[in-house]
Amino acid sequence: MSVQTTRALLCLGKWSLMGFVHNNDIKKIAKLPEVPEEDGDSEGEVDMPDGWDTIMWTT
């Protein structure tokens, strides 16, 4: 597991406890198709565009 994946999982756990992420959100994401292997590098990692991880906060 990559460092980025580990960090993402740790953040997800914390965000869930804080109420920022809900179980229904996770269920929806889990149903999305996998990224095709040919889109990644030799280790299966995919370069994401700048800003893909921007968190939008609205009230």
pLDDT at residue 52, rounded to an integer: 84
Q: Say whether pTM exceeds 0.75.
A: no
| pLDDT at 3 (0 to 100) | 87
CB atoms within 10 A of CB 26: 12
DSSP string of 34-51, one letter each residue: PPPGGGS-TTS--PPPTT
Specify the pLDDT at position 31. Answer: 92
pLDDT in tens, the chain (59 residues): 788 888 988 998 899 999 988 989 889 988 988 777 777 777 778 888 898 888 777 77
